[in-house]
Amino acid sequence: MPRTLITGGAGFLGSHLCDRFIAEGHEVVCMDNFITGSPDNVAHLVGHERFDLVRHDVSNYVYVAGDLDYILHFASPASPIDYLKLPIQTLKVGALGTHNLLGLAKAKGARFLLASTSEVYGDPEVHPQQETYWGNVNPVGFRGVYDEAKRFAEAITMAYHRYHGVETRIVRIFNTYGPRMRLDDGRALPAFMGQALRGEPITVFGDGSQTRSFQYVDDLMEGIYRLLMSDETEPVNIGNPDELSIKAFAEEVVALTGSSSTITYQPLPADDPQVRQPDITKAREVLGWSPQVDRAEGLRRTLDYFREAVAEQATA
């Protein structure tokens, strides 16, 4: 039975990974310090004979007893408001955390997968973004704490691969949404869903002409699983290329929820990328992967979760 360590396993994406690897028959060790995640996200797995939940900050030395076959490093604040609030922790988990987990992978002979991000492309001057693009990041800007941490994480991952022969994989994840996102994590979808369901104004930053390309979480899980099991050691984009403006996205959420909310415009955060769209040619060719859930369907699947979250918040 394969044994898999998932760091950040109590977060949005990590908890879906725990579900996926349990379903694949793995023994799963979920490690998290709950800084932006919650044990609630994996409460349904606690007590499962193949699931262990360990509270630990992976920026400190990581000890795991026994064998490990796979390590998926997802621990890191991920939402802009989280990493702007937690700049040092974000830099540490991307740098020291990644170093610790690569050391663990080397010691255990485990395959290591890094959760990287479309943010390594920064505010891109090439559109759509291919893996060969080196990016346009302001190292001393506010977002630099996240972008540069992930760029360092990619660099040290490749160094462990080339110098120590560790088996490594790097997934560059584009904006992903689905159940278990924190209602107040500040990302566009939770913010818009919460506001629409409460009948509050929808806060669009800037004039809303900046674009993003949103993928449903199940598509990402499939892409990650295929990448992990493949031989590809160079970074691979996983995202849904269906791009739209943030204003259009806000209007879609209002229409979906049947809300009477209107849009209010607020200042654009510093260094907010103007465009973003993955080129997924490589994922198609190397992994045979492409997104299966379009935005209309993905948003419908997510709506019930946000309805419940808003209702819970109202009674709390």
Longest dimension (CA), the chain: 58
With CB under 5 to 8 Å by kind, the binding choice for 117 among ligand NAD, ligand UDP, none is ligand NAD
For every residue of 226-270, DSSP letters joined together read HHHHS---S-EEE----EEEHHHHHHHHHHHHT----EEEEPPPT
Per the DSSP assignment, residues forming a β-bridge with 264 are 203
Provide the token pair at 105: 């992978």
269, 271, 286, 303: residue in contact with ligand UDP (rule CB under 6 A) = 269
The answer to whether 28 touches 49, Cβ cutoff 8 Å, is: no
Cα 200 to chain centroid, rounded: 27
Closest separation in Å from C-beta 60 to ligand NAD? 8
The answer to whether 33 touches 55, Cβ cutoff 8 Å, is: yes
Nearest to ligand UDP of 75, 253 (CB atom): 253
210, 237, 277, 302: residue in contact with ligand UDP (rule CB under 6 A) = 210
With CB under 5 to 8 Å by kind, the binding choice for 282 among ligand NAD, ligand UDP, none is none
With CB under 5 to 8 Å by kind, the binding choice for 188 among ligand UDP, ligand NAD, none is ligand UDP
| 237 lies in the binding site for ligand NAD (CB under 6 A) | no
Q: Which of 58, 52, 56 is nearest to 26 (CA)?
A: 52
The answer to whether 177 touches 303, Cβ cutoff 8 Å, is: no
| 241 lies in the binding site for ligand UDP (CB under 6 A) | no
**Distance from C-alpha of 203 to C-alpha of 93, rounded to nearest angstrom:** 30
Q: Which of 146, 160, 177, 216 is catalytic?
A: 146
| 173 lies in the binding site for ligand UDP (CB under 6 A) | no
With CB under 5 to 8 Å by kind, the binding choice for 13 among ligand NAD, ligand UDP, none is ligand NAD
By annotation, the residues acting in catalysis are: 146
* Site residues, ligand UDP (CB under 6 A): 79-80, 175, 187-188, 191, 203-205, 210, 212, 246, 269, 272
